[in-house]
Each structure stands twice: as C-alpha cells, then as structure tokens.
Amino acid sequence: MSERITPESGHRTVLLRGGEVHSPADPFATAMVVERGHVAWVGSEGAADAFADGVDEVVDLEGALVTPAFTDAHVHTTATGLALTGLDLSGARSLDEALVLVREHVVARPDDRVLLGHGWDAARWPGGRPPTHAELDEVTGGRPLYLTRIDVHSAVASTALLDLVPGVADAAGFHADAPLTADAHHAVRAAAHAAVTPRQRADAQRAALRHAASLGIGSVHECAGPTISGEDDFTSLLRLAGEEAGPRVVGYWAEQGAEGVARARELGAAGAAGDLFVDGALGSHTAWLCEGYADKGTGGAQGAGGVGGAGEGACGNSYLTAADVAAHVTACADAGLQAGFHAIGDAAVTAVVDGVRAAAEKVGLARVRAARHRVEHAEMLTPETIAAFAELGLTASVQPAFDALWGGEDGMYAQRLGAERARTLNPYAALLRAGVPLAFGSDSPVTPLDPWGTVRAAAFHRTPGHRVSVRAAFTAHTRGGWRAVGRDDAGVLVPGAPADYAVWRTGELLVQAPDDRVARWSTDPRSGTPGLPDLSPGADLPVCLRTVVGGQPVFVRPNE
C-alpha cells in the first residue's frame, strides 16, 4: 500500500477500500471516499464500486484498519522535540547511570550555550536521591546545565546556570540541597530556554510533529505560557504548523486575568488555558493537597483547601486561589475565550471548582457551560468535585499514562500519598458515569506520545474500578480532543467530518469491556459495534501505516 505525498493531495478525491473503516455511520464499513479534505462517504465494498471511476485515486487498504486520527490534548511541543533529539534521562535506572548519560551529552554537544536534559525520576532510583549541584558541576566541567524532573515541575541545575539567574537563591522554591521548584524553577527554566536558538527550536518542533504524525496523531494541543515556553516559542510553533504539512496545532496560552486573556487573543491562542498553574505535581511534592504528603510528614500549606493564598508547605504549593480562578473565568467570558487550569491535588481541584462556580454566579451558568472550560490533569477528585465538573460543563483533560507509570500499590502515587489515597486517583469511570467529557493526552515529554498505549492505560487502569472500555477510551483520545476545543463535527469518520484519519496494521478487531470482566469481548458482527484492536496487556499495539490531515498525507511509513 503506498501513496505519493503531493501539495495537491488534500484537494483530490480518494477512494480507500478493502479494509476496515471505524465509523459509527456504518459499523461494517470497508471503504471511504475523501473529497476536498473531508469525508464524503463511508460504506460497503460492493457500494464502493460506484465510486471507483469518478475518483482521482483508489487506495487498496489490503485489510488495514482506518480510524480517526488521534488528538493529543496536552503537549509541550518544543520540549518534546528537545527530548527526542537531545538528552533523555527517562530510561536511567540509577543516579550513576544518569550522570554517565549527562557526561556523554556534554562531550557530544561542545557548542551548546546551555545543556538541556529531561526525564530523571529519583523516585525510581536506588536511594531515591537526585543529583547534587556538585555532581552536576563535576560531570559538566563547569558548563551550564538544566535537567527537568520527569513531571517538569522541578529541576536540578549546575552552578554555572544558577549564576546566570541573579537573585535565584532568594526566590521561592530555591533549595540548596534539593531540586528547584516554584518561582526559582521558573526563573532558571527561563534562563535555560533563552539559550535555545531559533534554529534549535524549529528543529525540535519539526521533530516532535513528525514523531506525532508517525503515531497516527493528527492534532496536538500545545499548552504554553510565559512561565513554560515563552511567546517566541508559541508563535513560531503556530506559524510552522500553518506553513508545513503535519498535525494540526491548537495553541493554549496560560496567563492569568484580563491582561493574560488579551495576550492569549493577541498571540492567536484558542484560549487562556492549559497549564495555568493552580498547583504543581505529586512527584515533586508540589501538588496542592487537603492533607499532607505521606512521605513528608503532616501540616498545612498556606492556601490549603482552596480558600487561602498562594504558598508552599507540607501540603504542597498553591499558586491560584478560588478568587483568582473566578476572576480569570470571568475575564475569559467577557472576551469570548475558553479558560482552563492545571490542577492535580484535591485542594487545587476544589479551588478550580469553587472559582468556576463563583464565575457562573456572576456571568451565568449557561455561558460557563457553553465555553467548555478545561481542567488539565484533574488527578485527585472526589465525588463532590466530579459532580461539580458535570454541573459546570468542565472538560477533564487527563493523561492515563500517568497511572500506568506511577500507579499501583508500590508506585510513586502510593509513596507520596499512601496506598489508600493513591487508589482514588484518575477515576475515569466515575467521570464518564457523571457525564464529564474526557480528552486524553500525554503531557509529553512527561510521558511519551503513545496514543494506543494511552487507550490501553485507561482500559487497564491499575485500579480496576476506574477502568473504562477500550471504545470509551478511544473516543476520549479522538473525538474528545476535538470536543475540548468546541468542535463536535470532527474526530469521527462520518460524511462531512474533516478527513483526519490514520491507517493501521493490526490483528483481529474486538469489542473489549472494562472492570473485572476485561477479558470478555464480543466479535459477533450482530452486535453492530465497530471493533478496535486488542489492547490487552502484552498484545502488540497497532502500527501506523499512514496519517492524513485534512485529506493530505502527513506521514507514510516507508516501504508500505
């Protein structure tokens, strides 16, 4: 199976036939017609004969599966590209191994003004200790180095980089013998990213988008902001995505209040949303909790419970109050933009819910619900906050790979919270039962771009009661991402929808069920439910053969 990529591909009429087309329009479809960048028809092999003479090209699928392209609803594109092309420490199994990788990177990049790396996770290392300034100074030979923890909410840096940030030792979150967090981390990150040249940045963005396309991802939601990546990074990414064939990029700009909303509109963002931090992350002890961390003693953080001010303490970090959230949502309503917040801990999620509800009392519940405001991550939920999400029309933009990586009785969640609290995290089934819209993503480079792995992680959640069906998880990673940006007409292969699709080599198609009956499936065609690949743990994941966006191929696997 092959198709030549040309600039005119998106305007041609193409018939795909001889495969399996995953479409609610026809659960038994084997063929599809694409015309002018949209799906024109789906149906049976026999009916496809009527179209064969009137199209520009016929593609024989040779039994392959066609699905809507995936949408990754939370990505940091440049950071993903830098991790793909640079120093990735996510595979380091110990501190010593990480330091060896750093030393090799230093030798390989003699001209970099600042050395960048990502992905270390001391919680998985023997001894559980991150590298010290002295160790980094020794392996770098005194060069500036910035290394983010896997959750990107803390980092370690060499002395030479710290010296480039005046006053950093007096900033909140500076710790002489521990990773940087909060304001200190943001300042050091800004200094490190300022050293990335425009060419390095463009190369990283292209690498990330090419990689996404090779995995069947047709759209990514870029979560940017002044403390994350900067305006130049954001605008250059949107420009590149508009000029070059590849996945669609929907940009969110996380800046607070009326000024932030105005800046988001000026920069071309879809909303003043994304990683507008209400708190940090569990792995860095900066997620904002109602009760203290199990591995840090007890005590209250300033602002704990969603009603106080910003602070840092035994319950984590709080960056925005409920009043701040309300003011931001109100400003977004006045501007006609979507709002959104990063909230992981239960206190942070409560602050978001309280703030959005206060805004709804001011501008009207209907306006709030219509805007489909987003909450990124939303890991520590209670029955009350889940009900509030449904009431307020909030979209939960979540990352199932977090549970696969950090869940379980002995995982990082259990280390930070204790096993009982850890079991409550990422309750996808309860969210769906309540009617809360889900949009799946990776938070790459926190976890890799891996759409089928993400669907598997949700269907085989480490806590059985939180599992959802493969079909529901697939929908959250395709149509869910489009709905999260206000589009109900996309992410599904039906006539009139954008022709964003992927072609897969895979095995038998199944209808898999969640919970303790996860081994139960039906291949009975009388069920009328379109099948999906077997995602049981250990089964081979589908291989992407082609990704098409707006009718234009953006990836074709070589020799296929």
DSSP characters over 219-246: EEEEEE-TTTT-HHHHHHHHHHHHHSSS
Contact status, residue 459 vs residue 510, Cβ threshold 8 Å: no
Q: How far is C-alpha 434 from the chain's CA centre?
A: 22
Q: What CATH number corresponds to the domain at position 547?
A: 2.30.40.10
Q: Is 408 left (phi over 0), alpha (psi -120 to 50) or beta?
A: left
Residue 45 domain boundaries? 13-68+493-506+542-556
Residue 529 in domain: no
d(CA 343, CA 406): 17
pLDDT at res. 307: 31
Residue 535 in domain: no
* Helix (H) or strand (E) segment spanning residue 41: strand 38-43
pLDDT at res. 299: 38
Residues 325, 237 within the same domain:
no
Residue 79 in domain: yes
Residues 117, 194 within the same domain:
yes
Residues 46, 115 within the same domain:
no
Residues 338, 457 within the same domain:
yes
Residue 245 in domain: yes
What strands, in cross-sheet order, belong to the sheet with 57-60?
Answer: 38-43, 31-35, 14-17, 57-60
Q: Over the chain (560 residues), what is each successive 10-residue block's mean pLDDT?
A: 43 93 94 96 93 93 98 97 89 93 92 88 90 91 91 88 90 86 88 87 96 98 93 96 97 95 97 96 95 72 36 83 98 96 98 98 98 98 98 98 96 96 98 98 96 98 97 97 97 98 95 56 55 95 98 92
Residue 292 in domain: yes
Residues 88, 233 within the same domain:
yes
Contact status, residue 502 vs residue 546, Cβ threshold 8 Å: yes
Q: Provide the domain count of the chain.
A: 3
pLDDT at res. 559: 82
Residues 185, 245 within the same domain:
yes
pLDDT at res. 297: 55
Q: Would you state the structure tokens that stand for residue 303, as one six-digit string?
A: 């602002």
Contact status, residue 467 vs residue 404, Cβ threshold 8 Å: no
Residue 461 in domain: yes
Residue 283 in domain: yes
Residues 320, 193 within the same domain:
no
Residues 53, 83 within the same domain:
no
Residues 310, 425 within the same domain:
yes
| Beta strands 20-21 and 65-68, pairing class | parallel
- What is the secondary structure of 163-176 as a DSSP string? TTSTTGGGSTT--T
pLDDT at res. 375: 98
Residue 261 in domain: no
pLDDT at res. 309: 39
Q: How far is CA 363 from CA 10, 31, 356, 369, 482, in A?
A: 42, 47, 10, 11, 25
Q: Would you state the structure tokens that stand for residue 393, as one six-digit string?
A: 């029309």
d(CA 100, CA 117): 13
- Residue that terminates a domain, selected from 200, 228, 253: 253
Residues 497, 478 within the same domain:
no
Is the overall model pTM greater than 0.85, yes or no?
yes
Q: Which residues contact 320 (CB under 8 A, 6 or more apart)?
A: 256, 276, 277, 278, 310, 328, 341, 351, 355
Rounded to the nearest 10 degrees, the angle between the axes of helix 231-243 and helix 257-267 is 30
d(CA 260, CA 328): 9
Burial class of 133 by CB neighbour count within 10 A (0 to 12, 13 to 18, 19+) = middle
d(CA 113, CA 485): 38
Q: What CATH number corresponds to the domain at position 141?
A: 3.10.310.70
- Residue that terminates a domain, selected from 253, 277, 301: 253
| Beta strands 509-512 and 532-533, pairing class | antiparallel
Which amino acid does the sequence have at 59? V
d(CA 429, CA 204): 36
Residues 359, 476 within the same domain:
yes
Residues 248, 280 within the same domain:
no
d(CA 119, CA 445): 8
Would you give the DSSP letter of residue 132? P
Strand boundaries in 402-508, DSSP class E: 438-440, 501-505
Cis peptide before 445 (omega within 30 of 0): yes
Half-sphere exposure of 228 (CA within 13 A, CB side): 27
Q: What CATH number corresponds to the domain at position 417?
A: 3.20.20.140
- Residue that terminates a domain, selected from 224, 253, 282: 253
Residue 273's closest CA among 195, 188, 332, 346? Answer: 332
